Amino acid sequence: MSNKDFEDLSLIDNFMVLSVASDLKCGPKCGRLLAEGLLHEKVGYVRIHAEKIVPGIGLTKRGIRMDVELQSFPHKPEENELPEKVYDFEPHHKNSDNLFKRNRFNQAKIDAHNLYSGESDFNNLPDLCVINILDYDPFGKGKAKYHFRNMCAEDVTIPYPDGLDYYYFNTSSPNDEDDELNALLRYIQNSTEENATTELTRQLHEYVTKVKSSPEERYRYMTWGEYIDFETMEAKAEARKEGHAEGKEQGLAEGRAEGRAEGRAEGRAEGRAEGRAEAVLATYRENTLEVLNKLGDVPDDVVEKVNSVTDIDVLKQWFTLAVKSDSMASFLFQIN
């Protein structure tokens, strides 16, 4: 959650980029502008998704959340058509984890999600471009752009056409030889009228201004600040976990007293783990329904739908969508 005032938000801030990307009219245009401006390549027909969730397998395997996914097609796509290329935009403020291994994990999930089950022709796997937009230098070499591809270590002239590219853009040091790129990075870092100095950044500024002039978006940001306080949510979850743990510990003590086998103790340990996972799920369900109540009466089928979700990443996405929705119809449209 950003500590900035609403008026000071920039495209590097999660809320701003998600708000622009979520706009049905502005989102595709803005995504195309960013991709073309950062990479200097032509982007065709596009579909854009804000906070695209790629779920894990069950409760024990991790899923991923893509901040903004832009899908590119050479022609106007059919409804379920797979893209020719996927652009994953990931703005980051903090250098708090292993970004590179996270990208490796995310790339595998994205690829698996973009090839239909039973497909035997891997030529149909879309190219993938992971675009990290950072306000720090991840390699400490003072560059504005770092571009990585897989290659042969023995002979770098041998092409390795797997269609995968990683980009790291450093908005804190826009010193590339390309003046247009420097201007774009400055604008992403600080999205003000003064920094809208090129045709591309002026177009982006129109979309940013539209978001900032919207009372609904301002309210959503306030609500976002009120509800996306994950420390509070985790505290609630922790309280639930402690309750589960206390009951399980009591059962374990009784088990020891009765001399039960090690297998039963392991079973109880697994029960505690399941209890902790269910506690987190229950917290997200509760908070999602609480936010939806502010939009009006929540239909019984929606309550049932929320309470039936068992994937934590899906629940996190629904919670965020509930916060950003201005009506029940808008929320249902985005989750269906």
> What confidence score (pLDDT) does residue 58 get?
47
The chain-wide mean pLDDT, for the chain, equals 81
Residues 182 and 292 occupy one common structural domain? no
DSSP state of 283: H
Q: Which comes out higher in pLDDT, residue 129 or 250? A: 129
Domain enclosing residue 150, as ranges: 6-213
Q: Which range among 211-220, 222-231, 303-312 shows the weakest confidence by mean pLDDT?
A: 222-231
Residues 18 and 144 occupy one common structural domain? yes
In whole angstroms, give the CA distance from residue 56 to residue 62: 5
> What confidence score (pLDDT) does residue 186 get?
95
Q: Is there a domain that residue 237 lies in?
A: yes
Residues 186 and 247 occupy one common structural domain? no
Burial 199-227 (b: 16+ CB within 10 A, else e): ebbeebbebbeebbeeeebeebbebbeeb
Residues 234 and 209 occupy one common structural domain? no
Whether residue 334 is predicted with pLDDT greater than 90 in this model: the reply is no
Strands, sheet with 85-92, edge to edge from the N-terminal-most edge strand: 45-54, 64-73, 85-92, 127-134, 164-170, 145-148
Task: Give the mean model confidence (pLDDT) for residues 194-203.
Answer: 96
- The domain boundary, picked from 155, 185, 213, lies at 213
> What confidence score (pLDDT) does residue 228 get?
52
Task: Give the mean model confidence (pLDDT) for residues 179-197.
Answer: 95
pTM of the model: 0.67
Residues 197 and 234 occupy one common structural domain? no
Q: Is there a domain that residue 259 lies in?
A: yes
- The domain boundary, picked from 188, 213, 238, lies at 213
Residues 170 and 264 occupy one common structural domain? no
Q: Is there a domain that residue 218 lies in?
A: no
- The domain boundary, picked from 165, 184, 213, lies at 213
Residues 197 and 246 occupy one common structural domain? no
Residues 178 and 242 occupy one common structural domain? no
Residues 94 and 73 occupy one common structural domain? yes
pLDDT tier, 68 (very low <50, low <70, confident <90, very high otherwise): confident
Residues 204 and 264 occupy one common structural domain? no
> What confidence score (pLDDT) does residue 93 get?
67
Tens-digit pLDDT profile for residues 218-244: 877 876 665 455 444 554 555 555 555
* 32-36, 261-265, 295-299: range with highest mean pLDDT: 32-36
Q: Is there a domain that residue 188 lies in?
A: yes
Q: Is there a domain that residue 192 lies in?
A: yes
Tokens of 21: 């990307």
Q: How many residues does the chain have?
A: 336
Q: Is there a domain that residue 219 lies in?
A: no
pLDDT more than 70, % of the chain: 76
Tens-digit pLDDT profile for residues 71-128: 999 999 988 888 999 999 988 767 666 889 988 988 988 888 888 878 889 999 999 9
pLDDT tier, 42 (very low <50, low <70, confident <90, very high otherwise): very high
Burial of 169 from C-beta contacts in 10 A (0-12 / 13-18 / 19+): buried
> What confidence score (pLDDT) does residue 317 get?
83
Q: Which range among 5-9, 15-19, 79-83, 222-226 shows the weakest confidence by mean pLDDT?
A: 222-226
- In the block, residue with structure tokens 């032509």: 42
Residues 161 and 230 occupy one common structural domain? no
In whole angstroms, give the CA distance from residue 305 to residue 303: 5
> What confidence score (pLDDT) does residue 59 get?
44
- Do residues 12 and 29 touch, judged by C-beta distance below 8 A? no
Task: Give the mean model confidence (pLDDT) for residues 152-178.
Answer: 92
Q: Is there a domain that residue 68 lies in?
A: yes
Task: Give the mean model confidence (pLDDT) for residues 208-223.
Answer: 84
Q: Which range among 19-23, 121-125, 268-272 shows the weakest confidence by mean pLDDT?
A: 268-272
Task: Give the mean model confidence (pLDDT) for residues 41-58.
Answer: 73
Q: Report the domain count for the chain.
A: 2
Residues 161 and 191 occupy one common structural domain? yes
Q: How many CA atoms, within 13 angstroms, populate the side-chain half-sphere of residue 123?
A: 1
SS3 category, 83: coil
> What confidence score (pLDDT) does residue 60 get?
46
Task: Give the mean model confidence (pLDDT) for residues 277-297.
Answer: 82
> What confidence score (pLDDT) does residue 61 get?
45
Q: Is there a domain that residue 220 lies in?
A: no
